[in-house]
Every structure is written in C-alpha cells, then in structure tokens.
Amino acid sequence: MKLTTLTVLLGLVGSCAAAPTTELGGDARGPDGNYKYTNLLIHEKSPYLLQHAHNPVDWHPWGPEAFALAKSQNKPIFLSIGYSTCHWCHVMERESFSDPAIAKLINEHFVPIKVDREERPDVDRIYMEFIEATTGSGGWPMTVFLTPDLKPFFGGTYFPPEDAQGMPGLTSLLPKVTAAWDKDHDAIVASGDKMVEALKKMGTLAPDPAAGGLDAAVLAAAANRLKTEFDPEHGGFGTAPKFPQPVLLRFLLVYAVRAKDDSPRDMALQTLRAMADGGMHDQIGGGFHRYSTDSRWFLPHFEKMLYDQAQLADVYLDAYQVTHDPVFADTARDVLEYVLRDMTGEQGQFFSAQDADSAPDADRPNAKREGAFYVWTADEIAKALGPGASMFDYRYGIADGGNVSVDPRGEFPSQNVLFIAHSMEDVAKKFNVSPEDATKALDASRQRILAVRSQRPRPSLDDKSIVAWNGLMIGAFARAGLVLREPRYTAAAARAAGFIQNRLLEPKTIQLAHSFRDGATGADGFLTDYAFLISGLIDLYESSADIAWLKLALDLQAKQDALFWDPQSGGYFSTPAADTLLVRLKDDSDDAEPSGNSVAAVNLLRLAHMTDDKDLATKAQQTLALFSTRLRESPTSLAQMLVALDLRLSAPQQVVLAGEPGAVRPMAYEVADLFLPHNVLLYADGGPGQQFLGQHAAFIQDIKAMNHQPTAYVCKNFACQAPTNDADVLRKMLKR
C-alpha cells in the first residue's frame, strides 16, 4: 500500500536514504573545554540520546511533557529516530544537529524529539511503516514531522544540511514545512488523520478463510523462490548490499531434512562458508559486521550488532550438526568468544552493539572514521609481524596498495580488509610447511595483530542490555554448550538469564522490562522481549537440565499470552493493550531480527511438545493461520514462520534422558551431535524436575533409569520406544 504525503504541497521531490560523500560537523565544546549547549537528553540513559545531549537542538525525550508542549504551542513535532552505532546517524548529528543555524530553525518552529529505536522499537515501528509506505524505502536516521497529537504527515530518512544530489536539505526543508503548517494547517491535520487510518488498516491482520490450510507446498514454494534468488558464485541472495539473513539459512537447513533434498542445504552451507571467509567476518577479533556492501561478502558496513552475533552463531551450529565440518564449529566459537570478550558485562549481561566508527589515532591521523579500527596498510602488518608478515599477507589477502577496490566512497585508500584469500593447504604448500605448522604460525600472528589493534581507539560500545537480544544470545550460548560440548558456554547463558531474572523481571507479576543500562530499566517489555527470552530459556533448559529455566519459560509464555494475544484473530500484538501509541500492530516479517510472532509460534510448539499442552498447540495453529495469506504470497518474508510451519507439520518427537544430570550429559551430547529440528530434549531426573514435567505430560512419570545407568527414551507423540543405555543405539534410533 502506497500512502500519499504532503510532498507536492511542500514543493519537494521526496527524500531518499542516500548519503553524501562528505562529512561536516561542529565541536560541542567551547574554547574553555566546556560544553556550549546541554539539553534535556542529558538526563537519559540511552547512549544514543546522550550522543545528542550537547547539541544546540533543544531535544526532548519521547514522553508526555514533549507532547503537551507541542499541543500548548501548536507546533509540529520534529521526530528523529536512530541508534547509537548507526553511522549515518552520526553524520547527521555532526553536520546538522551540531549546527547552530539549523538548530535555531528547529527550536523556533518545532518541538524536537529524539528517540532511540532500540529503547522504543514500538515507536520506531509505527513511523517506519509510515516512511516505507510513503517513500518506498526506510532506514536510519529517520526523520518524521508529526502533528502535536503524534500523527505523521511528512518524513524521510537522512536529510543533508543543504540540498544535494536530489535530496532536500534541512535548511530549505524546515522553512517549507513551517510555512505549510502556518498556511495549510487544516490540510496537514487532515492528512495526518488519513495517515493514521491507513496505518491502522495496514496493521490489521485477520485470518483469511479462503486461504485454506497450510501444507508442505508452502515450504516447497519458499525453497524454490530462494533458488531463483540465490547467487551461485558468492552465496547469499540477491545482489549488493548483502545481508546475512540467518532466518533464511535456518529455513533451508530445516527444509532439506523434510525434502530429503541436498540443494536447499547446499545453498545455506555455501553461503555460510563464503561469509566465514569474507571481510564481513572479523578475521582478527571475531564476530560479524552488519552487512557486506558488495556481493562477495568482502567490504562490510563495520558495525556489529548483538542480534546478528546470536543468530549467526546459532545457524553455524546448525551447519556443524549437519556436516560435522570443523569450519562451522570454529566460526560459531569465534563469534561466541568475541561476545564474551567485548560484549558481555560484569554481571553476565550482553551488550547491544559496537559502533562502525572510531576516531583516528596519533599514528594514523588520516584514518577515516568508519572502519578505521579494522583496516590495515601493508606497512602496518609488516611492522607488527616482521618476517611472519608474508605468510599472513598471503592468507588474508594483504596488498601493498590496499585491497579495497570496491569502495564507492573512497574511504579506504591503501587500506586492506582482511579476508581468507587462500586456504590453509595453499598456505602450507606455498611456504613449504605442514598445514599444522602453518595453522600454528598464523594463529600466533593473529594474536599479535589483535594485540596491536587493541591499542587503537576503539569503536564505541552501546552497553545497554535489551531483553530480546539477550534472549537470542542466551539461546546461542546454550545450544553451543551442547553442540560444542563446552560447559562454559552453557554457564554464560545461565548467567545472562540470571541477570535478566534478577534485574529486569518483576517476580510477582512476571512483568519484563525491555532494557537495562546504568542501574535503570527502560520501558515495559514488548512481544519480542518475551518471545525471544522464552526461546532462549527453552534452549537453556535443554542444555543445562535445570527445570527452573523451563518453569520460567512457561510462566513467561502465560504472561505473553495475557499481554499480547489477540483472542479475536489470533496471533500476538507487538505491544500491550495499554499502550498509548497511535496504532497497535502485529509483526508480519522476519527481517534482521525474526518477528515476535514467528518466534512465538515455534515456542508454542516446542512447549506443547514438552508438556503435552493442547492449548499451546492451538495457539500456534491460530498464529500460523493468521499469516497464511502472507505465507502463500510471500513465503520468504516469514522464514522463521516457515520453520514453525515445518515443525507443525511434523510428528512431535521427545528424547527423554533418565538419570542424574551429570551422568546423562554424554547422552545429551550424542543428541546434540545430530541436526534434529523436530526434537525436544527432556530430563527425567527422578526428582523435582521430573515431578514438574509429570504434572503436564503424564508419560514422563514412569520413565526411569535402567540398571542404574543413564538411559535414553525416544518418543513420538509421547509414546516411547524401548529405552537404551547404549549411546550408539541411541544415535541409530535418532537417525531413523
């Protein structure tokens, strides 16, 4: 649906997300070293808001005080939304919001409000829907003009300070909006009313009886569509820029099991190998950058997001289960070790993001801001490694004049982005050493380069903790604890879950907060906070055998149902009923993060398969039915929902391990060694855990260890085959 805005009235051609090639900006400090300006954002906790606390713009945080001011003065609202690690948000802050002349235009004629999209995804979602519907694209920074009662009437993404490259600049746009507000006030208000009505229609979802039931044909259609979009040379889908899209890769691996077809699996594995070898993967410090600006996963946009690390670690674990190729296990470990080192707080919580930008340092005064921390000249490598540089250069594609040939902005002259240019076998052959010796030498060189890099000015860290993203990361660490047989990963997951339980959960009401930073919590939790955390807790129960995590997951599921479930149409709203925003929407696409509804559908089925709760299974079916039309028309837009559908179409299979948790651990490792997307893992410990499960699923009450040895039961629809004490027999049963 395409909405119409006041573009013609304002005399504009509309805005676009393109950005200029130059960066301007001012210094917020005076000659005495003190800040020239301070606004109300100084009292906020968000790193993004604090980045704007010393702008000359009189920013207000989102809230009733700012809304009341706009109404009392009858001024439109200038709403700016971004996040702390957004490169072009930094550009707009430096070149426009630090400019006293532009600030004067904003302050005199608008009530300026700044929002951190990570703190308030509900606000961001509504106005992003508006921007995408009116301009055809979206992104951050997002700029939206609102009536005093919060109704949008015009907006875009990035605006330069002056008109440039077909984009209206703020110095010309702001007076035009002001003049239109004064001259055509009633028309603008009427336009805002129409926008809200249109958004309400867009956000209203109901099951389509004519769509019919969902079956495996929907899964096949999605896989076939991905085949047409697949890049057979470099992996991934479409052309540049390329995003990792782990939800698509997970779906392909899951679907390959059902279809008994290698081609979906091979598309996923080729993509995962290419990403692991590319410059989008931080070859020195670990983890993945946000996306690749080119088609071959080479030149990244350098920010690192927690939700990417979690989802990519998870899908690399899937790939390892499918293939047992150590490259996939090593890549997952690489991501997890990066998160433990650079994105984990003292209390075990996971931080949100690491910036793309960093300041030049004394030794590299000409280094550009974006990516400066990560790129190298050949001379810098040689200085750091001495004689070992030649092998390192060959392995990681270092060139004397730089290797960044795909560089439309010209930001990396003579610089090198590290990628896997040659296999370890090729390195060994070229330097006439064994592969083992080559690996040892290169590992030492990587550690040396990492140590040198750590002395550079670091990109800023957004150290707020978001429950939803912590839930994703808890799940990745928990699964890694089993798949990689590494107990400290399970311990990391448990520590983060404990942090959320202690700091962001009200125990009596089971009410989650959305975020935490500097001793304070943010808004009440949204659907994704509950759904993603529940998913992580289910994984943590399977990894730890601690029934407390499954109990908490079930309690949170009940709270999620109370807050967000739509009893009329099914599915979950993104925000609770008491929310005061203009529109109450339902997530309907799996993007950089999976949607709350998609994750919730999988959770409901997993919990139903664990507890034999028919109500949970019914809610899952109703959620799938709600999105049946979208799944048929655009199946790849809901890849995680496709995973839920695949699970719904499969017979529930429970693997129950009987015995003391420590004693059954080897058998749990055997289960985790295989890619079994339709299984759940349960523990019959003969104590409180088994008693709790027995209250829900009667079949587990009679399960016990045989011959006082760890025992495995493989069950379908809660009916079990003959038990076994033999791990090899268990593996054969699972493969069948």
Q: What is the mean pLDDT of residues 364-370?
A: 64
Cis peptide before 121 (omega within 30 of 0): no
Q: How confident is the model at residue 357 (pLDDT cuts 50, 70, 90)?
A: confident
Asked if residue 141 has a cis previous peptide bond (ω within 30° of 0), the answer is yes
What pLDDT shows up at residue 7? 53
User: How high is the pLDDT of residue 579?
Assistant: 62
pLDDT of residue 366: 57
Percent of the chain past pLDDT 90, that is, above it, reads 81
**Window from 23-32, 107-116, 304-313, 557-566 with minimum mean pLDDT:** 23-32
- How many angstroms separate the Cα of 204 from the Cα of each of 128, 207, 331, 531? 16, 10, 41, 21
Residue type, 596: G
What percentage of the chain exceeds 70 in pLDDT? 92
pLDDT digit string (tens) for 63-104? 999 999 999 999 999 999 999 988 889 999 999 999 999 999
Report the distance separating Cα 446 and Cα 451, nearest Å: 9
The per-residue pLDDT for range 126-147, each reduced to its tens digit, is: 999 999 988 888 899 999 999 9
Nearest to 339 by CA among 306, 316, 373: 306
Q: At 407, is the pLDDT very low, low, confident or very high (cuts 50, 70, 90)?
A: low
pLDDT-wise least confident of 19-23, 114-118, 323-327: 19-23
Q: How far apart are CA 212 and CA 220, in angstroms?
A: 17
Reported as a single tens digit per residue, the pLDDT across 480-539 is 999 999 999 999 999 999 999 999 999 999 999 999 999 999 999 999 999 999 999 999
Per-chain mean pLDDT for the chain: 91
Domains of the chain listed by start with CATH number: 7-203 (3.40.30.10), 238-462 (no CATH), 651-736 (3.40.30.10)
Q: pLDDT of 567-624, one tens digit each?
A: 999 999 999 986 668 888 998 899 999 999 999 999 999 999 999 999 999 999 999 9
Query: What is the pTM (predicted TM-score) of this model?
Result: 0.94
What is the mean predicted confidence (pLDDT) over 157-171? Answer: 90
Report the C-alpha gap between 600 and 604 in whole angstroms.
Answer: 6
Per the listing, tokens 């590290």 go with 418
Q: For the segment 42-63, what is each residue's pLDDT rounded down to a tens digit? A: 999 999 999 999 999 999 999 9
Task: Tell me: pLDDT of 12 over 60.
Answer: no
Asked if pLDDT for residue 709 goes beyond 90, the answer is yes
Which strands sit side by side in the sheet containing 142-146, from one edge to the other? 60-61, 111-116, 77-82, 142-146, 152-156
Q: Which tokens go with 398?
A: 């270092």
- Residue 469 pLDDT > 90: yes
pLDDT exceeds cutoff 60 at 409: no
Average pLDDT rounded to a whole number, residues 295-306: 95
- Find the distance separating the first CA and the last CA of the chain, reported in whole Å: 48
- Decide if pLDDT at 9 tops 90: no
